[in-house]
Structure 1
């Protein structure tokens, strides 16, 4: 009986020792990783996508982002109801033009993946995300578009996604339940990135009562390929339109404000040069 007790004690001690060694090993791995990350920061080797972490977290986690989206679609509904209540001659069917990305579909998981992999935007990476057809609706978007449909107002999706992604885009919108998700109502980019031509195509036989987007070029060609100063001046000149005919959705992650504004329309900056440009354009005191 005594020998058996000693044997059991030795087995328990062995198991405890193995468990302790495993814990020490795992903690060592984690510590090594943390130390390595800290060393990278100390030596200036900051991940190239580190600057975008805060904006992606804000879109994915903050209640303020959701509130702003709800606010935008609430205003859109008020404007739609106001137009429908007007007793005016209606020569053409009513329609809404909306952007897709960060207006009705949330692509922040793609931005998060870029941070995880520490890579810049690439067409291949974007195509991989689009093919998954997993972008979720922007808060409030689905409800508003369905309301517009119920009131007899058509929805046209005018996006700068490539026409090569027509079927995946169509499938994603359909999976999420968006109305008018068909080839006749989705106008993607072919050779020209400016949306004015596509807007005019819709306006040929439709009265456009609302335009919705996260990028100001979703509303007017005045914002196409413009500098920061020019974009700000155009926004001021169109001030009465915002909240009336133009409904803007928040997008802190990317857009013309960054590529055409901060990076001055150039796409060959190195990560170090981009960092310098961002810092140079901060306004402090």
Structure 2
């Protein structure tokens, strides 16, 4: 009789155990599905981005990168003559690297529309990103050549009247060698386009020692000794 009871109890315990294992596995599966398939809430993300910017952390993070870039430039060129430095080049991206479009981003809640973007560009009122501008001035003081490579299109055949050129000058940038605009209706990727531009710069006899941008697509593809990426939580360009 004792053996029978023990056997019966054992069967019950096994059934309970299997039930618990199945139940816990199901709960774990449900949780895993939520983690894997539910993306972050867009509204919360936008609020987090605004806090990151408005708290001053965004600017601090930019300053950290710029300071490292300046240190690199100093160490790279400190033993060179002015003539040797004149054969070196630094490449800058424009949007969210040299000029800030925060006013546009806030106005359209981080959305993008080509017509509203062109209207914003034509106003030529994007503000300089101050740490980048200071780096730019430091580089010019060393007689190093500067180039801009932008994803913007040229909007005026007369370069001096193009709003991007006007905006750069108003912001305090000066004496660059060339601004590369992305051709309208081109089918090549951003990486390929910007790589080709850097290749063109080096074909003219310059050595690019630093390339700085806010997108990885600004920086990939080679033709630069060093790359520095600025933070940009607002948009992504592949």
TM-score, normalized by the shorter chain, greater than 0.5: yes
Unpaired runs of at least 5, structure 2: 1-40
Q: Distance in 1 between matches of 2:115 and 2:227?
A: 32
Q: Secondary structure at the match of 2:152?
A: strand
* Corresponding position: 1:127 with 2:118: yes
Query: Which residue is 1:29 aligned to?
Result: none
Any residues of structure 2 matched to 1:2-151 within 5 Å, and which? 50=43, 53-54=46-47, 56-58=49-51, 60-86=53-79, 90=84, 93-115=87-109, 120-151=111-142
Q: Distance in 2 between matches of 1:211 and 1:105?
A: 16
Q: Is 2:86–2:143's contact at 8 Å kept on the other side of the alignment?
A: no
Deviations 1:64-119 (A, max 9, x none): 1111111111111111111112459949711100111111111111111112xxx9
Q: Distance in 2 between matches of 1:154 and 1:245?
A: 16
Query: Which residue is 2:179 aligned to?
Result: 186
Structure with higher Rg: it is 2
* Corresponding position: 1:200 with 2:199: yes
Which portions of structure 1, spanning 4 or more consecutive aligned residues, are displaced by more than 3 angstroms?
48-52, 86-92
Q: Distance in 1 between matches of 2:198 and 2:112?
A: 27
Q: CA deviation at 1:245?
A: 1.1
Equivalenced residues, count: 185
* Corresponding position: 1:168 with 2:163: yes
Q: Distance in 1 between matches of 2:180 and 2:77?
A: 25
